[in-house]
Structure 1
Amino acid sequence: MKFIKLTAISAAVLASTAALAADPVIVVDDNAAVAYEVEPVAVAYQAEPASYAYDANAGVVSNTTGAVVGGTKGFFSKVVNPASVSAEVGTLGYGANIGWSLNEKTELQAGWAGGDVADLFGGDFDANDINYDVDSDFSNPYLGVQLRPTGNWFTMGAGIIVPDNDIDVRANPEGSGDDAYYSVNGEEYLLSDVGALEGTIEHRNKLAPYLTVGFRPNITNNFGLFGEVGAAYMGKTTATINRVAGNTNPDAELVADQAEKDLEDKDWLEWFPIVKLGATYRF
């Protein structure tokens, strides 16, 4: 009997070991041999994630590597591949812009417009009693947002212009020949005594905010037209009138100083009108 019990214990140990191999185990009890087949035990192992971000709300740890890489890739894809390019002409000059769509109603724009556009404003203006001819060389890089608030052709724009506009002015005397003169504060000063009045005016704002409204109809799936009207606040002006070298007539300095004051009081194009037309190609 003792032999049988020892045999049973040994068989149990063997059975535990053999369970992993799924081999039959024989147990002897009361001289009867019985064969049992033990099912193998399955063990599952789970690989550790590569990186972790703890979610305090869910109380779980999740892998975020794919989301970060995918989001970065999507961002650079938008930057490298813009939604549209446009050509424009208007009061800011001749230029172009590139647009990136943030969503179906919002587009970020970066562009430039410039050149000689003085003729668009008539090419001359009056400051007090003196008429001035204008020559210009505009450079207006800008960054803005174009919105479609109602989801159709109607648009609203806002942004910042970084103006670098050269504006040259030249006074036109009245009369002709030896009788040509400038009229300043009701007094007449001969051109021969004063000399030519030429100089520059410059807007003081280094950053000029702007607002526009417009329309942007699509002609085809890729091509469209647009028009905008609005204004940019360029700020007050600083005027400089050059004195004629060698002219010692005291009237020359008096007239030049008054001309500068009149030009600055005029604040020519302080609120700079924006009118533009253009065409757009969408990718």
Structure 2
Amino acid sequence: MKLIQLTAITAAVLASTAALAADPVIVIDGNNAVVYEAEPVAVAYQADAGYAYNADAGVLRNTTGAVVGGTKTFFQTVTQPAAISAEVGTLGYGANVGYALNDKTELQAGWAGGDVADLFGGDFDANDVNYEVETDFSNPYLGVQLRPMANWFTVGAGIIVPDNDIDVRANAEGEGFYRIDGDKFYAGQADADQIAADDFGGQNVGALEGTIEHRNKLAPYATIGFRPNITNNFGLFGELGAAYMGKTDATINRVAGNPNPAANIVADQAEKDLEDKNWLEWMPIVKLGATYRF
């Protein structure tokens, strides 16, 4: 009986001291003391492998789970993104890389740019003067894509760092004049008949051309979109939204050597009209693209 009691007591003590298995265990029964050297207990932990790819929902794999699990370093994760995409749209032509934090959240870093003036019509009117536009966009951006329902529907937000060159040139009407505040000003030298016909005297102010620039150095944006899959690795996406580029500053170049004081007056008024126009203060975002997932 004592042997059975001793055995039961020993088993209970050993089980309750598994966390201290490296220390000896002493069991006392009456006048007898027995010392047991417990064997170390090995406990295996397996790191979370991350989120599995869901072909129906289009969810990207979790690249951060590997970092937490210790199977990859942070540097390896950064250099091995979850996806890369090519895009074309109103911000320009470009690409981005995505890093999936979980099944609903993806960080993005990208760039889009080029001459996209034709996407906005190629010209616009500011106070009865038509301006031709040429652009050279450069729009690096950082953002986050959310899948609130863990399917193909996405909501995006982020920041654009715009560095966009926008050149404008006034298109002369009729016999080569601009109409500023109801008066005619000529891009070339007015002839005698024009001077006699115009109340303001047919002033020659030369070409009206210059630049406009958005004031925001950081432009917030928001989008909604869709990201369906074609295969386990390839997918398509589309997005609609807007970026707030801010109000504009305009500069109209004065004609060098033109002694006519009307040239400065007209240039100042043209700048004011362009700034009042605030061309693309809210820039629409429309983009289409393709994605490759690793």
Q: TM-score surpassing 0.5? A: yes
Match of 1:237 in 2: 248
Q: Shift of the alpha carbon at 1:80? A: 2.2
Counterparts of residues 75-154 of structure 1 (less than 5 Å) = 75-154=74-153
| Residue number in structure 1 paired with 2:29 | none
Distance of aligned partners of 1:39 and 1:219 in 2 relative to their CA distance in 1, 3 Å threshold: same
Unpaired runs of 5+ residues, structure 2, are: 1-31, 41-66, 189-203
In the alignment, does 2:181 pair up with 1:182? no
Contact kept in structure 1, 2:142 and 2:159, CA below 8 Å:
yes
Asked whether the 8 Å contact 2:187–2:208 carries over to 1, the reply is: no
CA distance in 2 between counterparts of 1:157 and 1:125 reads 30
**Bigger mean CA offset, 259-268 vs 71-80:** 71-80
After TM superposition, give the deviation of residue 190 of structure 1 in Å.
1.9
Corresponding residue for residue 159 of structure 1: 158
Give 2:280's aligned residue. 269
The residue identity in structure 1 corresponding to 2:134 is D
2:288 maps to a residue whose letter is: L
Partners of 1:69 and 1:100 in 2: CA distance: 15
Distance 1:159 1:40 in 2: 69
Q: Distance in 1 between matches of 2:239 and 2:177?
A: 42
Higher strand share: 1
What is the rounded CA distance, in whole Å, between the counterparts of 2:219 and 2:119 in structure 1?
Answer: 20
Structure 2 length-normalised TM: 0.72
Give the structure 2 partner of residue 278 of structure 1: 289
Matched, 1:247 2:258: yes
Q: Give the 4+ runs in structure 1 shifted more than 2 A.
A: 38-46, 68-78
Question: What does 1:188-267 align with in structure 2 at a 5 Å threshold?
Answer: 188-192=184-188, 193-267=204-278
Residue 72 to residue 202, structure 1, CA distance change in 2 (3 Å): farther
Larger Rg: 1
Q: What percentage of residue pairs aligned between the two structures are identical? A: 78
The secondary structure found in structure 1 opposite 2:236 is strand
CA distance in 2, matches of 1:39, 1:186: 114
User: How far apart are residue 115 of structure 1 and its match?
Assistant: 0.5
Aligned-pair distance for 1:73?
3.9
Could you say if the C-alpha distance between residues 173 and 69 of structure 1 is closer, same or farther in structure 2, counting changes exceeding 3 Å?
closer
Instruction: Give the letter for the 1:271 counterpart.
Output: W
- Take 1:41 and 1:252, find their aligned partners in 2: how far apart are those partners? 106
Distance 2:293 2:223 in 1: 21
Q: Gaps spanning 5+ residues in structure 1: where?
A: 1-37, 47-67
Q: Is the 8 A contact 2:205 2:260 kept in 1?
A: yes
What is the root-mean-square deviation in Å for CA atoms of aligned residues? 2.2
Q: Distance in 2 between matches of 1:71 and 1:234?
A: 42
5 Å-filtered alignment, 1:40-79, equals: 70=69, 73=72, 75-79=74-78
1:173 deviates by 0.7
CA deviation after TM superposition for structure 1 residue 215, in Å: 0.5
Secondary structure of the structure 1 residue equivalent to 2:275: helix
| Distance apart, 1:237 and its partner CA | 0.2
Cα offset for 1:44? Answer: 6.6
- Deviation of residue 175 (structure 1)? 1.4
**Superposed CA offset, 1:163-204 (max 9, x none):** 00000000001113xxx1110011111222100011000000
Match of 2:172 in 1: 173
How many aligned positions are there?
223
Q: Secondary structure at the match of 1:245?
A: coil
